[in-house]
């Protein structure tokens, strides 16, 4: 991959060549083509999609619906009606919990793993409160692995929903979604996959994985903030009630009630984020241009390098797996005697952006018995130099905090 050209595609790096951005699991930077596509929409195609009959509105509708087709193709959905645009992965997961959740009864079980992001935990906790369903958790090992045995033993004939992340935003560990979805189906449950950290980094095919729902965010994959996706199998989406109600999601309205629009519009109330959808389509095109194989190869190389250099820093402990492969470009770690927030401040002073805290995964932190960590997360546009700058800065932190060695 021509690293230098990739960097040129991102204005933030063009304008700040020394910026070391290693918080990609939080959000990625945006290439010029995405920024331009959003601008182009507002300059040339802007009207309220799905409403007006005039040419401009038809064009706005067409580009919005083209984006849906691009997303459907990107994740291997059977058709665009299975793609619901939301604001982000959190909203997608809430949609499933509120809407599919209406089918749950007291005593039914919802199964999650202990490594779920709060966005894939709180909606289910709230559903449990509303429905009387019971929330159960699958444990992971210190390496973050969830074994088939652990999964099987947490599953029961009462399990109605399993919701699990494909890649942990803290440990980087990748769960065997295909196997777990199959086991969930055998037990009569639906399988919801949180793809927020996987869709941007590995090819995800919903039919191959046979998941019932997949949630992800545009902003973690080069697209603008405020556009997210919920994939759902058509047969399930069809029988689910709407989540949000209002304009555009109806078919016919009387004083007393309403009937719902066809899929996927039943789930898209109000004016949509057409510019965001166009930005997401452009991000997908950019992924294709660079090539998923090249992206994965680059991220694997960077991940190896990061694991190697972090492993040599005295007093630094990487949470989770013992090999680079198990991290998928995400490294959470601690440094003896130094609070993660102090590490983040010192790194910031050296121009290195990383994240410190509980990473919206407090249940995992409790499970691993650590209050918080520092997290560095990679993307294909990172340079080897970024990792060296991270390591250089980290190796001075304890000294700068007053430790002798
Ligand atoms: C695994 C995982 N799931 C869900 C989310 C929520 O994404 P968003 O904030 O875009 O809704 C995140 C965000 O960091 C995440 O890492």
3-state secondary structure the chain: CCHHHHHHCCHHHHHCCCCEECECCCCCCCCHHHHHHHHHHHHHHCCCCCCCCCHHHHHHHHHHHHHHHHHHHHCCCCCHHHEEEECCHHHHHHHHHHHHHHHCCCCCEEEEECCCCHHHCHHHHHHHHHHCCEEEEECCCCCCCCCHHHHHHHCCCCEEEEEEECECCCCCCECCHHHHHHHHHHCCCEEEEECCCCCCCCCCCHHHHCCCEEEEEHHHHCCCCCCEEEEECHHHHHHCCCCCCCCCCEEEECCCCEEECCCCHHHCCCCCCHHHHHHHHHHHHHHHHHCHHHHHHHHHHHHHHHHHHHHCCCCEEECCCCCHHHCCCEEEEEECCECHHHHHHHHHHCCEECEEECCCCHHHHHHHCCCCEEEEECCCCCCHHHHHHHHHHHHHHHHHCCCCC
Q: How many CB atoms lie within 10 A of CB 368?
A: 20
- How many whole angstroms from 365 Cα to the centroid of ligand 1? 16
Domain locations in the chain? 3-22+291-400, 34-287
Picking from 301, 315, 381, 319, the residue whose alpha carbon sits closest to that of residue 343 is: 315
User: Which CATH class for the 34-287 domain?
Assistant: alpha beta
Q: Quick one: pLDDT at residue 186?
A: 98
Q: How many CB atoms lie within 10 A of CB 217?
A: 27
Q: Which atom of ligand 1 is nearest to the CA of 87?
A: 11
| Pocket perturbation via mutation, ligand 1, pick of 169, 175, 198, 229 by most ligand atoms within 8 A of CB | 169
Picking from 392, 398, 361, the residue whose alpha carbon sits closest to that of residue 122 is: 361
Q: Quick one: pLDDT at residue 91?
A: 98
C-alpha torsion 148→149→150→152, nearest 10 = 80
Q: Which atom of ligand 1 is nearest to the CA of 219?
A: 10
Q: Which atom of ligand 1 is nearest to the CA of 89?
A: 11
The set of protein residues with a Cβ atom below 6 angstroms from ligand 1 is 25, 88-90, 117, 119-120, 165, 169, 194, 196-197, 217
Is 140 among the residues known to form the active site?
Answer: no
Place of tokens 């989770």: 320
Quote the Cα angle for 352-170-163, to 5°.
Answer: 145
Q: Hey, whose CA ends up nearest to atom 7 of ligand 1?
A: 89
- How many whole angstroms from 91 Cα to the centroid of ligand 1? 10
Q: Which atom of ligand 1 is nearest to the CA of 167?
A: 1
Q: Quick one: pLDDT at residue 3?
A: 52
The CATH number of domain 3-22+291-400 is 3.40.50.1240:
no
Q: How many CB atoms lie within 10 A of CB 229?
A: 29
User: Considering 33, 140, 353, 360, which one is annotated as catalytic?
Assistant: 360
- How many whole angstroms from 359 Cα to the centroid of ligand 1? 10
* pLDDT, tens digit only, all 405 positions of the chain: 555 489 999 999 999 999 999 999 999 999 999 999 999 999 999 999 988 899 999 999 999 999 999 999 999 999 999 999 999 999 999 999 999 999 999 999 999 999 999 999 999 999 999 999 999 999 999 999 999 999 999 999 999 999 999 999 999 999 999 999 999 999 999 999 999 999 999 999 999 999 999 999 999 999 999 999 999 999 999 999 999 999 999 999 999 999 999 999 999 999 999 999 999 999 999 999 999 999 999 999 999 999 999 999 999 999 999 999 999 999 999 999 999 999 999 999 999 999 999 999 999 999 999 999 999 999 999 999 999 999 999 999 999 999 987
- How many whole angstroms from 179 Cα to the centroid of ligand 1? 23
Domains 3-22+291-400 and 34-287 alike in fold: no
Side-chain-side CA neighbours of residue 361 (13 Å):
28
375 φψ region: left (φ > 0), alpha (ψ -120 to 50), beta (else): beta
- How many whole angstroms from 222 Cα to the centroid of ligand 1? 14
270 φψ region: left (φ > 0), alpha (ψ -120 to 50), beta (else): left
């Amino acid at each position: 991959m021509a690293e230098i050209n990739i960097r040129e595609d991102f204005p933030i790096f063009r304008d700040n060549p020394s910026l070391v951005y290693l918080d990609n699991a939080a959000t990625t930077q945006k290439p010029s083509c995405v920024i331009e596509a959003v601008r182009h929409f507002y300059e040339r195609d802007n009207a309220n999609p799905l409403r007006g009959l005039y040419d401009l509105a038809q064009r706005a509708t067409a580009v919005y619906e083209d984006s849906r087709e691009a997303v459907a193709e990107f994740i291997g959905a059977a058709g665009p009606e299975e793609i619901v645009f939301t604001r982000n992965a959190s909203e997608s997961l809430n949609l499933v919990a509120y809407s599919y959740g209406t089918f749950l009864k007291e005593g039914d079980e919802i199964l999650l793993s202990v490594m779920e992001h709060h966005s894939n935990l709180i909606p289910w906790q709230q559903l449990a409160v509303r429905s009387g369903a019971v929330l159960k958790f699958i444990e992971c090992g210190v390496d973050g692995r969830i074994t088939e045995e652990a999964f099987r033993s947490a599953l029961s004939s009462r399990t109605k929903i399993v919701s699990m992340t494909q890649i942990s935003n803290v440990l980087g560990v990748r769960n065997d979604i295909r196997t777990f979805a199959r086991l969930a189906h055998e037990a009569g449950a639906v399988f919801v996959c949180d793809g927020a950290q996987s869709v941007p980094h590995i090819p995800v095919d919903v039919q191959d994985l046979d998941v019932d729902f997949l949630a992800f965010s545009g902003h973690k994959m080069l697209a603008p903030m405020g556009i997210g996706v919920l994939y759902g199998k058509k047969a399930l989406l069809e029988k689910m009630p709407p989540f949000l109600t209002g304009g555009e999601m109806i078919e016919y309205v009387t004083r007393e009630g309403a009937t719902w629009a066809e899929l996927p519009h039943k789930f898209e109330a109000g004016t949509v984020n057409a510019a965001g959808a166009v930005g997401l389509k452009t991000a997908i095109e950019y992924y294709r241009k660079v090539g998923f194989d090249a992206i994965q190869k680059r991220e694997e190389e960077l991940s190896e390098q990061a694991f190697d250099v972090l492993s040599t820093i005295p007093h630094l402990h990487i949470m989770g797996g013992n090999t680079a492969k198990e991290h998928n470009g995400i490294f959470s770690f601690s440094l003896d005697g130094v609070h993660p927030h102090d590490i983040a401040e010192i790194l910031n002073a050296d121009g290195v952006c990383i994240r410190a805290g509980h990473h919206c995964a407090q249940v995992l932190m409790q499970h691993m018995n650590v209050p918080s960590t520092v997290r560095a997360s990679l993307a294909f546009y990172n340079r080897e130099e970024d990792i060296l700058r991270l390591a250089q800065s980290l190796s001075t932190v304890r000294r700068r905090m007053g430790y002798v060695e």
